[in-house]
Amino acid sequence: MVNIAEKGAKQAEFLRQAFEQNKLAHSYLFVDANEVQALNTAYWLACLFNCTGKNKPDGSCQNCRQIISGNHPDVLLVEPEGKQSLGIDQVRLLKEELAKSPVQSNVRFFFINEAQKLTLSAANALLNLLEEPVAPVVTILITNNTDQILPTIRSRTQIINFTTNEAINSKTEELLANGFSPNDVNDLGDTSKLEQKTKYFYQEMLESSSLALVSAHQLAEMAKSKNEQKYIFFLLKKWAQTELMNGKQQDGARMLRDLLELDKMQYSNVSLRNLLDYLALQWKR
Ligand SMILES: [Zn+2]
């Protein structure tokens, strides 16, 4: 499955048990400092539920592939695309969707990413949905900040925490083991935004989406220091290696080859923006 690293295994195992005992909650609040692991786990859960393979979720049956590529009619993601808030319009859309019966599955899955950006009116509209779901549904709100979630919403969801001190420490160790000095790690500070943007860029590349070019530009804007640039390439390589381990040899090998190419180009002082553009264009073909 997509990037379910060991760090998330505990939460995923908990959800698997709930699923196997037919005890999945109607609504969850996933709390994750960088939102990446939580969102991956949300997709993982939808795959688990819908997988037709033997080792669920296999990530390769028709259902899993539809879910991972964002094309499953019963698995929907709502997020504040480029906006600062998730407004009432998006929740209204969700409301309409929620009233519909599942198309292919028995249950529909709704993921609301960056739920801390829900406006007050949107949060209140959502509250009704959580209280009286019209059709069978599992709603997963994902946030990096529980304090910004209305208490009334919090109390109606089952909270699953992905942020642990362990995770923070192991991230530092991982960076130290990959050529970052303690000073580098300090300078980097909170990398959650950078990591999230890089993740989008990476996924868009794999999907050969034109959006990858937009994300490339945004990333180049965000990553001003050499350290941050180094961090982006570290993440891309790490994820490419994960593809290899998860049986997606073709994508993984191709990505690693392209990234090695970029390593060479970096020595000729090509700007980050041009490097990322080059990468995105390689994948757009
Ligand atoms: Zn499957």
CA of residue 210 to ligand 1 center, whole Å = 27
Share of the chain above pLDDT 70, in %: 93
- Do 76 and 141 belong to one domain? yes
Q: What is the pLDDT of residue 176?
A: 87
1 in a structural domain: no
Say how many Å lie between the CA of residue 208 and the centre of ligand 1. 22
Instruction: Give the tokens for residue 273.
Output: 């923006």
Residue 143 sits in the same domain as residue 88 = yes
| Same domain for 270 and 140 | no
pLDDT of residue 6: 42
β-pairing verdict for 137-143 and 27-31: parallel
pLDDT for 3 equals 45
Local confidence band at 81 (pLDDT 50, 70, 90 cut-offs): low
pLDDT at site 117 = 85
Residue 190 resides in a domain: yes
Whole-angstrom distance, CA of residue 220 vs CA of residue 203: 17
Residue 172 belongs to what domain range? 165-284
Ligand 1 centroid – CA 64 distance (Å): 4
The stretch 129-148 carries a mean pLDDT of 83
Given a cut of 90, whether residue 245 has pLDDT beyond it is: no
Å from CA of 246 to ligand 1 middle: 13
d(CA 92, CA 196): 26
If residue 97 lies in a helix (H) or strand (E), which one and from where to where?
helix 88-99
* 46 Cα–ligand 1 center, Å: 10
pLDDT at 129 over 90: no
- Give me ligand 1 centre to Cα 78, in Å: 23
Per-residue pLDDT band for 165 (boundaries 50, 70, 90) equals low
Query: Using an 8 Å Cβ cutoff, are 6 and 12 in contact?
Result: no
Q: Does the residue 218 lie in any domain?
A: yes
pLDDT band with cut points at 50, 70 and 90 for residue 147: confident
Are residue 245 and residue 277 in the same domain, yes or no?
A: yes
Average pLDDT, the chain: 85
Q: What is the pLDDT of residue 4?
A: 43
Please identify, among 143, 161, 179, the residue that sits at the C-terminal boundary of a domain. 161
Q: How far apart are CA 251 and CA 77, in angstroms?
A: 24
Q: Are residues 18 and 156 in the same domain?
A: yes
pLDDT single digits (tens) 22-56: 999 989 999 987 767 899 999 999 999 999 999 99
Q: Which of 142, 161, 180 is the last residue of a domain?
A: 161
d(CA 51, ligand 1 centre) in Å? 4
| Span 203-242, pLDDT tens digits | 889 888 888 999 999 999 999 899 999 999 999 999 998 8
User: Based on the domain organization, do 127 and 265 belong to the same domain?
Assistant: no
Is 159 strand, coil or helix? strand
Instruction: Kindly state the average pLDDT of the residues 164-189.
Output: 81
Calculate how far, in angstroms, residue 63's C-alpha sits from the geometric centre of ligand 1: 6
Whole-number Å distance between alpha carbons of 250 and 268: 28
154 with 192, same domain?
no
The amino acid at 198: T
pLDDT value at residue 61: 94
In the chain, % of residues over pLDDT 90: 39
Based on the domain organization, do 234 and 102 belong to the same domain?
A: no
Is residue 170 domain-shared with residue 73, that is, in the same domain? no
Q: What is the pLDDT at residue 203?
A: 86
Assess whether 128 and 250 both reside in one domain.
no
Res 141 pLDDT > 70 = yes
Buried b / exposed e across 248-280, counting CB within 10 Å, b at 16+?
A: beebbebbbebeeebeeeeeeeeebeebbbebb
The Cα 270–Cα 250 span in angstroms is 27
**How much distance in Å is there from the Cα of 217 to the middle of ligand 1?**
34
The reply to whether 145 and 175 lie within a common domain is: no
Q: Ligand 1 centre and the CA of 235: distance in Å?
A: 26
Q: What is the pLDDT of residue 88?
A: 78
Tell me how many domains the chain contains: 2
What is the per-residue pLDDT for 72?
A: 94
Domain end call among 109, 129, 161: 161
Task: Supply 263's token pair.
Answer: 């390593």
Least confident of 53-57, 87-91, 276-280: 87-91
Let me know whether 103 and 193 are in one domain: no
